[in-house]
Structure 1
Amino acid sequence: MTQDAQREHWQHTYEAHPAMYGAEPSDPALHAADVFAKAGARDVLELGAGHGRDALHFARRGFTVRATDFSPVGLGRIAEGAEAAGLGARVATQVVDAREPLPFGPSSTDAVFAHMLLCMDLSTRRIEELVTEVRRALRPGGTFVYTVRHTGDAHFGTGLSHGDDVYEHGGFAVHFFSRELVDRLAEGWTLQGVHAFEEGALPRRLWRVTMTAPAND
């Protein structure tokens, strides 16, 4: 699937189903907020913020949030929701495409959260580059929490294969993670934990990965 097709898919999804995931935060976001607070984080960068249920949760927990996505429609929903909830001063939005270098300076955030962003239609090489960019953007000792669908998921190995563990179903491509890839991405970090969980009606099978950057970067 092309980059433009992926963007069009999500633009249409956010327009047609603005509350498709509900208003409550995801379980990974609940976990991440607790981890970030314990670590003393003040600001959170969310990659692939969708329609904002997790970004708004972080803001309610007292963090300053930079919500990013490649869909201006989704980001517009987030801005509207933040204003309606009285959280406009805590939430900023920015169009960011994960296929391109992250437009953030070194040591510019305390924490990064990405719920299923890394398992989008991205090559292994781009995923590795993206994690390196996350580490660059984090302040020393900062925390990164991400979730990905893994190779134990029912859709892995089925549908249209794009190679590189990417499979497409219904026009939507997913990069399924092996545990070896998770461990490779954690090289140079402190891997705090890999938690298996399920989400949705299929159900989707995912890992929630928590890791911290070196304190002396």
Structure 2
Amino acid sequence: MDSENKPRPSEFWDGFYRERERVWSGKPNASLVREVGALAPGRALELGCGEGADAIWLAQRGWTVTGIDISAVALGRAAQHAEDAGVADRVTWLHRDLAEWDPEAEYELVSAQFLHSPVELPRARILRSAAAAVAPGGLLFVVGHAAFPPWHSNEEAHGEGAELPTAEELAVSLGLRADEWSIEATTAEGREAVGPEGERVVLTDAVLKARRV
């Protein structure tokens, strides 16, 4: 598709969420539950929060959460889900385009779960801004696809020319210096998933867990 005919990212994502009453499962990402569940709560920032499952899970465990997303449709659902879960007072929802976003506060946890897009998304720049928002002693936690799901091509799933760095490559690209960051985990993990035709597959995720010294 010619760039002139491509939808703006906000239009694309609002349309994406309008296609179904609920896009995601409503359950928090398993890596987040495993790696963050035992941490003492503080302030958390959730990038690309979508319909809010991860942010709500954090709020239920005592975190004060800020969730950011480009889709007003998704954020409306997230706010309703937080209300239903009884944690609306613990979550702030921000309607922002992350491509133009700069952090205005520091957080004990900055989380980005599967921050990919088939429309333009400067992922590396966004994650560098995210790293800058981690408070001293706080955690940067990034999970992304390490390989494309078999039912999507590169361009369909993540945009033309998209690359999927390993966790180690991501840490280098973000400039996480050894004198400022302690890398607690850079792993590739497999998880079971169900495809659009009901097929069961194992997807590989790149997981980066880094603590600001």
Instruction: Indicate the TM-score class for this superposition, using the shorter chain for normalisation.
Output: 0.7 to 0.9
Residue 193 (str. 1) matches residue 193 (str. 2): no
Q: Which residue type is aligned with residue 111 of structure 1?
A: L
1:31-180 alignment, distance < 5 Å:
31-34=34-37, 37=39, 40-105=40-105, 108-117=106-115, 119-120=116-117, 126-150=122-146, 152-153=147-148, 159=153, 167-169=154-156, 173=159, 175-178=163-166
Q: How far off is 1:154 after superposition? A: 5.1
Evaluate the alpha carbon distance shift between residue 175 and residue 74 of structure 1 in structure 2; reply closer, same or farther with a 3 A threshold: farther
Following superposition, the deviation at residue 20 of structure 1 comes to 2.2
Counterpart in the other structure of 1:27: 30
Greater Cα shift, 43-52 or 26-35: 26-35
Shift in CA distance, 133/175, structure 1 to aligned 2, threshold 3 Å: same
Using the TM superposition, give the Cα deviation of residue 26 of structure 1 relative to its aligned residue in structure 2, in angstroms: 1.6
Q: Which residue of 2 aligns with 1:163?
A: none
For 1:29 and 1:180, locate their aligned partners in 2 and report how far apart those are by CA, in whole Å. Answer: 18
Alignment check: 8 A CA contact 1:109 1:139 kept: yes
TM-score normalised to structure 2 length: 0.79
User: How many angstroms does 1:85 deviate by?
Assistant: 1.6
Any conservation in 1 of the 2:14–2:71 contact (CA below 8 Å)?
A: yes
The residue type equivalent to 1:31 in the other structure is R
Contact 2:28 2:57 (C-alpha < 8 Å) held by counterparts: yes
Q: 1:137 to 1:193 in 2, by over 3 A?
A: same
Query: How far off is 1:127 after superposition?
Result: 3.6
Distance (Å, rounded) in 1 between the aligned partners of 2:25 and 2:166:
29
1:205 lines up with 2:204 in the alignment: yes
Q: How many residues align?
A: 197
Give the Cα–Cα distance (whole angstroms) in 2 for the partners of residues 112 and 139 of structure 1.
9
Q: Secondary structure at the match of 1:200?
A: strand
SS at match of 1:79: helix
Describe the SS at the equivalent of 1:83: helix
RMSD over equivalenced CA pairs, Å: 2.8
Q: Structure 1: which amino acid aligns with 2:56?
A: L
Q: Aligned partner of 2:109: which letter?
A: A
> In 2 relative to 1, CA 18–207 (structure 1 residues): closer, same or farther, beyond 3 Å?
farther
CA distance in 1, matches of 2:120, 2:210: 21
Deviation at 1:208, TM superposition (A): 1.8
Unaligned runs of 5+ in 1: 160-166
For the residue of structure 2 that corresponds to 1:89, the secondary structure is helix
Deviations 1:167-214 (CA, angstroms, capped at 9, x unpaired): 3127x5254224552241363222111232235335442112111112
What SS does the aligned partner of 2:89 have?
A: coil
The answer to whether the Cα contact below 8 Å between 1:197 and 1:207 also exists between their aligned partners in 2 is no
TM-score (norm 1): 0.77
Name the aligned partner's letter for residue 60 of structure 1. Answer: Q
